[in-house]
Structure 1
Amino acid sequence: MQSVTDWHLVRLFRERVSQYRDRIAIKYQQGRSWKTINWQQFGHRVDALACALLREGIGVQEKVAIFARNMPDWTIADLAILSCRAVTVPLYPTSTTGQAQYILNDAEARILFVGEQEQFDKAESLLSGTSVLEKIVVLDPGVDIRNCPQAVYLKDFIGCATTTAFRDLLTARFESSDMDDLVTLIYTSGTTGEPKGVMLDYRNFGTALRLHDQRLLLTEADVSLCFLPLSHVFERAWTFYVMYRGATNAYIRDPAAVREALASVRPTVMCAVPRFYEKIHSAIMARVEQATPFRKRLFRWALATGERYFQRQQSGRWMTPGLRLTHAIADKLVFQKLRVLVGGRVRFFPCAGARLADDINLFFQVIGLNIKYGYGLTETTATVSCYGDAIALGSIGKPLPEVDIRIGADNEIQVRGGTVMRGYYRKPEATREAFIDGWFRTGDAGYIDDQGNLVMTERIKELMKTSGGKYVAPQVVEGTIVRDHFVEQVAIIADARKFVSALIVPAYEALEEYARSMGVKFESRMDLIRDQSIQALFQQRLESLQKELPRFEKVKKFTLLPREFSLDLGEMTPTLKLRRKVIMERFGKEIEAMYT
């Protein structure tokens, strides 16, 4: 039986380096080709950078920050920091200068790793605005550091740091490591108020790895595509799991390039958020709408066949020879071609971060894309619950083993277990408020069904109450509307209002293509969204989308916006959640016009 310390992240990493040596650990794109790093090279780079950090005098549990898009050097820097018994503080690559300044000051990070020019420019402007930042280490050699005396390229920073003295110190740090050491401070997005640094330690991550082994089967033969930001707990914890299992991680910097990467990497596993599947589903359905009558009938027949097959499979009922045959035909003619859109060799795709509509979930399960839908938070080291072999539509799966869930006041989901955070960094009051009787309060409402599956109903803090006293869960309504391929973003307004209204950002590429096909003349986005036929199109689609919603939840009026909600303007968090208060203030005139 393994001891607790066997689950220490740095120990696990060193074991894999020794075990796999020449096997591929990392893939990454350079120009149009894909390069590889084997486990031995991976280990050497981590050790070299760790020695360089020790040369800089990095202390035990000192905070070191990373401000970059996904790249191998992100993880190399992360593991080098941890190898020194220091603490990694990730910043979202899209963070504003103000957000970065707050985190660096709060964490007191004197060394900052940056990725590309955008991050360097913001970091450079902070050198005089932070009391602690001393050095910027630039990961991308193509960045212009403009002779900044506090900036240094990664290669030069490492230099000749791997002397015997620093290697001995590195070994001593590792041998003195403790499961109670902090691994990371992950600052929550802060939809209201200032961000809070979530303290996660080695015990949290070790427990998460061990429990995932009891729910998932990941092997050294798997290839994972790393495209969600590593600054988020979901992709970061998953990357640690991929590393621990000896699988290959393929990094892409630009999330917008995921489509091309799927075709070239052909991953067997990949983390994604529901919006990823909503967009694929929307694109597929739009293409079906344009198909010939025969292809439409074939598509619908295949889906109906696949649904019958899936339901029998999940209920454990006997599969008739006829259904096996027709399903094989449907798979050959339709489903295989759809799976090619995500590389064609998927084993399973973990999915979390927001609500995934049941019909979209079912669609992908039917075509043979095994989505492991789940639920978790930064404060719980990601996963609280997720699907296993059984798929219970309408739920977010069963809790992981050893993760306890109870339903508290206001139907709040409360969690207890080894994956729950230590607390918020330097915020004792916020930490006290986050717990009740030793249980972490998620702020999400839900229940546990008769089969032991967790079902989330709404976000408690975001519930809106109409002037008629009806409660509206904005995520449910927004999730319903954003599935349309003409909709990119939506914000619901209902609090203290007579009815529900919406600010809608169209998916302009799809909308402009439609407008041209229909002969709609426009010279700007404003021309387009003011056109009566476009307004009628959205009205018609809203009515169709909202058929299943209760009358009081349906959007009665809407306003189309000429631009997206902006991260830079503070309308969204770095995790792309809506900052509703800012949006209500920024678009106050448009909102009032819908109610007068």
Structure 2
Amino acid sequence: MSSRLIISRARPACSASRGASTTGVGRLANRTRSIASSRWPRSVMSLRIMHEVIRQGGKAIRRGPGCRAPSPWQRPLLLRWSTRRGRRGRSPRGTGRPCNRRLTVASSIREKPHRHMGGGSSASSREREGGQTAMPAKHMIATFRERLAADPDRIALRGRRDGGWWELTRGEVDRTVRAVAAGLIELGVAEAARVGIIGANRPEWTLADLAIQSVRAVPVPIYPTLTVSQAAYIVNDAEVDLLFVDGGRSLQMAREVAAEHRPVRVVCFDDSAALDPDLQEVRFSALVERGRSSPRSAEVDQRLDRVTPEDLLTLIYTSGTTGEPKGVMLTQANLLAAMEIHDERLPELSDADTSLCFLPLSHVFERCWTTYCLYRGLTVSYLDDPTEVIEVLQQVRPTCLCTVPRLLEKVHSAVHERMGSASAVRRGLFDWAMRVGREVAMRRNERRGVSPALSLQHAVADRLVLAKIRGVLGGRLRLVPCAGAPLSREVEEFFHAVGIHIAHGYGLTETTATVSFHDRVGYRLGTVGRPMPRVQVSIGAGDEILVKGPTVMAGYYRKPEATAEVFRDGWFCTGDAGAIDEAGCIIITGRVKDLIKTSTGKYIAPQAIEAMLTTKPPIEQAAVVGDLRKYVVALIVPSFPALEAEARRLGVTWSSPAELVGRPEMVALVQARVDEVNRELASFEQVKRFALLATPFVVEAGELTPTLKIRRAAIVAHHADLIASLYGD
């Protein structure tokens, strides 16, 4: 599909102070509803905003208030069933070798790191030296079982079905995991076997994950958004013989992989899916029943007794912004260490807290966060359709969740977009409340006192404005780990002012997620916080961030050369560029290999410019280009709901997105936002020309990773002629 575009030359920017920032609205979801009642604050936070906030493609599914009976595998369990209104009721009770292989990592470094920061005492740290590591004694399943046994009647997992929520207690989780594990042994799953999981977020995803680990096999998560060929690559590389899938597309993908690439057996979560026994397809419910009656259930405990800290716990394939995916090997010791070091930094969490799991479990961030929540005894609710996250936040009302900056940016944009059309009185009240919120947040962060007068103002501001904004996200949210992309200072300040702590952090699949994040007090905006306890961070040659510690991976699966390339003297080379400030906080400046070098020899971090652009309405996506060129240009995708609203206000007519982006009024609107960004950049960093695209960057075209990061090389290749025209070639 071709993209209609318009090319514009940016006006020179003067070095003025930062202008007042307004922000745009995301795409409209398929339906809108009002939040009843209160005139200003509630109207500002209407469900229209909620549905504008999220755009990930796909149609939002309207669910009715009724509930359906639980699946067969759930009937023997003590289930709690609730509708959106909170009614509750109960249903009737109803061969391989051990995988202890670790890759030896080459130790060769040409330059010594020049700046080093440790996250805690080294006395208890498990440091990598030549690939060898001192491991803790426990393994994750033993740790989970201790937690589940502590209070077996407490709710652990919640999932959606037909407009309602079904629940599993800790005791039910333990019994189901044991049953699935025994069922896997009945199916012939050997120790060290790789077992794939393809599907949307749901409790069964985690139950399968824990059951696979319980038989000393290795879970391999696969994004359900991948193409068949991409999924087949992972299945072949990891030598997967069995796949857990949900229904629909994931089931079809598994069948195509089995038919065209590698024979695999299938376990399907959905009872309504039509299975073919001839294709070795079984239902999850049948696997549970088979495991409950299995005479080999004792073998589960025998396998667990053989687990060692060096065992491979999971293979996670990185999506990669370039090149083919690599299987990251994380061990039992890696994940257990990750749990322990988070305990030291998150003492405020308790089993009274709840989390919403809405980022893909196939990604290390959500999977590790959800694992940690269960490890700490929190209740986790699973969302299978991320386009409905704002609506579901109203139902679940979590106290914490992990997210990516895009969600926060869209909430921030939607609020400011709405306030842009409010009356002067309402805008004034909003601005005053935000100033008070920022002042209180700053004083608390700096451990300064809040005067009685300011406290009184804050109480009024909170009642009239701030609490209403928190209400958009359920009203109880207080902790939000955020990572995956740059987060603008403006957005971060906004949420802290509202009263939600954004634990902005940094991590990679290769480091079992977290390397650093903001503490509740003493955080520094513009950084990604201090390193975790027992995690050491250095800055090496070319300002590359280097990491060492107990959470660093064992290596890349079946890729010893690639493993050797990323380790130097025991340090993992992240490929990210950055610095460490005087307070020991990490500052990310970009990707080492993603830096743009202009023809004049200047180095530019495109991700930082893209992050600035996408905070300006109506800009939704941006890709900055300029390698070996004399100046920087950008490909910009606007938020079409915001663009259309502005067009209607100006009386502009259009018949298609391609025609809309070509209208001079729309170009001028985006030009003004680009100029705002340029005023904050050095002259050689400024976007001199840009093109508006009528179609967004998408995963399916290879322009985004499954975690929605820019694949710059693919975008440049797809739009080569357009980019050439921006340079007058």
The match for 2:621 is 489
Partner of 1:221: 352
What is the CA distance between 1:134 and its match in structure 2? Answer: 2.4
In the alignment, is the contact (CA less than 8 A) between 1:444 and 1:460 conserved in 2?
Answer: yes
Q: Give 1:583's aligned residue.
A: 715
Q: Does 99-108 or 352-361 show the bigger shift?
A: 352-361
Stretch moving more, 267-276 or 292-301: 292-301
Question: Deviation of residue 195 (structure 1)?
Answer: 0.6
Contact 2:542 2:577 in 1 (8 A): yes
SS in 2 for 1:332: helix
Which residue of structure 2 aligns with residue 520 of structure 1?
Answer: 652
CA contact (8 A) 1:376 1:382 kept: yes
Task: After TM superposition, list the pairs within 5 Å mapping 1:502-541 onto structure 2.
Answer: 502-541=634-673
Matched-pair contact (CA < 8 Å) for 1:490–1:502: yes
Q: What's the offset of the Cα at 1:7?
A: 4.3
TM-score (norm 1): 0.97
Assess if the C-alpha contact under 8 Å between 1:482 and 1:490 holds in 2: yes
For residue 313 of structure 1, the aligned residue among 440, 444, 447 is 444
Residue 214 of structure 2 is matched in structure 1 by 83
Q: 1:128 offset after TM fit, Å? A: 2.5
8 Å contact kept, 2:196–2:235? yes
Give the distance between the partners of 1:496 and 1:431, measured in 2 at CA: 30
* One-letter code aligned to 1:415: V
Pairing of 1:255-266 with structure 2 (within 5 A): 255-266=386-397
Post-superposition CA distance 1:94-137 (Å, at most 9, x none): 11111101000000000011123111112211112223x32111
Q: For residues 595 and 446 of structure 1, what CA distance do their matches in structure 2 show? A: 30
Please state whether the residue corresponding to 1:230 is helix, strand or coil.
coil
Q: Say if 1:586 and 1:206 are closer, same or farther in 2 by CA, change over 3 A.
A: same
Amino acid at match of 2:338: A
Distance 1:102 1:23 in 2: 40
How is 1:164-243 mapped onto 2 (pairs within 5 angstroms)?
A: 165-216=295-346, 217-243=348-374
Q: Separation in 1 of the partners of 2:663 and 2:572?
A: 50
User: Structure 1 residue aligned with 2:272, among 137, 142, 148?
Assistant: 142
User: Is 1:283–1:485's contact at 8 Å kept on the other side of the alignment?
Assistant: no
Q: Which has the higher helix share?
A: 1
Could you tell me how far 1:583 is from its partner in structure 2?
Answer: 1.1
Cα distance 1:149–1:88, how it changes in 2: closer, same or farther (>3 A)? same
Q: Which residue of 1 aligns with 2:573?
A: 441
- Which residue of 1 is the match for residue 548 of structure 2? 416
Aligned twin of 1:9 = 140
Deviation track 1:206-259 (CA, whole Å, cap 9, x = no partner) reads 111110010002210000000011111111111111111111000000111100
Q: Which amino acid aligns with 1:502?
A: A
Partner of 2:287: 157
2:322 corresponds to which letter in structure 1? T
Q: Determine which of 438, 442, 457 is the counterpart of 1:326.
A: 457
Counting only pairs closer than 5 Å after superposition, residues 465-476 of structure 1 correspond to structure 2 as 465-476=597-608
- Percentage of identical aligned residues: 45
Once residues 252 and 194 of structure 2 are traced to their aligned partners in structure 1, the CA distance between those partners, rounded to angstroms, is 21
2:697 equivalent to 1:546: no
- Note closer, same or farther for the CA distance 1:65–1:461 as it changes in structure 2 (3 Å cut): same
Which stretch of the first structure deviates more once superposed, 322-331 or 419-428?
322-331
User: Unaligned 5+ residue runs, structure 2?
Assistant: 1-123, 125-133
CA contact (8 A) 1:117 1:144 kept: no
Higher relative contact order (CA 8 A, sep 6+): 2
TM-fit CA distance, 1:6? 6.2
Secondary structure of the corresponding residue to residue 356 of structure 1 = coil
What amino acid is the match of 1:187?
Answer: Y
What do the CA deviations read for 1:430-456 (whole angstroms, capped 9, x no partner)?
000010000000111112111111111
1:13-52 equivalences in 2 (<5 Å): 13-52=144-183
SS at match of 1:127: helix
Displacement of 1:164: 5.3
Q: Conserved in 1, the CA contact under 8 Å of 2:182 and 2:294?
A: no
Amino acid at match of 1:37: L
Deviation string, structure 1 residues 362-385 (Cα, Å, up to 9, x no partner)? 111111111111111000001111
Amino acid at match of 1:173: R
Structure 1 residues 333-342 or 425-434, which shifts more?
A: 333-342
- How many residue pairs end up in the alignment? 594
Shift in alpha-carbon separation, 1:388–1:6, aligned structure 2, 3 A = farther
Structure 1 residue 155: deviation in Å?
A: 1.8
Would you say the 8 A contact 2:186–2:294 is kept in 1?
no
SS in 2 for 1:415: strand
Secondary structure at 1:214's aligned position in 2? helix
Indicate if the aligned counterparts of 1:480 and 1:546 stay in contact, CA closer than 8 A: no
Tell me the equivalent position of 2:254: 123
2:703–2:715 CA contact under 8 A, matched in 1: yes
Aligned mates of 2:721, 2:153 — CA distance in 1:
62
Q: 3-state SS of the aligned residue for 1:110?
A: strand
What do residues 551-586 of structure 1 show as CA deviations (whole Å, max 9, x unaligned)?
Answer: 221212111112111212222222222221111111
Shift of 1:538: 0.9
Where does 1:271-420 land on structure 2 (aligned, <5 Å)? 271-389=402-520, 390-420=522-552
CA distance in 2, matches of 1:591, 1:494: 9
**C-alpha RMSD of matched pairs (Å):** 1.6
Match for 1:375: what amino acid?
Answer: Y
C-alpha displacement at 1:484, in angstroms? 2.3
CA distance in 1, matches of 2:633, 2:721: 13
Q: Are 1:348 and 1:370, in contact at CA under 8 Å, matched by a contact in 2?
A: yes
Does the residue aligned with 2:316 lie in a helix, a strand or coil? strand
2:476 maps to amino acid: R
The verdict on how the C-alpha distance between 1:554 and 1:146 changes in structure 2, with shifts beyond 3 A counting, is: farther
Confirm whether residue 111 of structure 1 aligns to residue 231 of structure 2.
Answer: no
Deviation string, structure 1 residues 123-176 (Cα, Å, up to 9, x no partner): 211112223x32111112233446662322222334423345311111101111
Distance in 2 (alpha carbons) for counterparts of 1:452 and 1:161: 51
C-alpha displacement at 1:319, in angstroms? 2.3
The 2-side partners of 1:594 and 1:348 are apart by: 43
Counterparts of 2:172 and 2:450, CA distance in 1? 49
Contact 1:6 1:12 survives alignment (8 Å): no
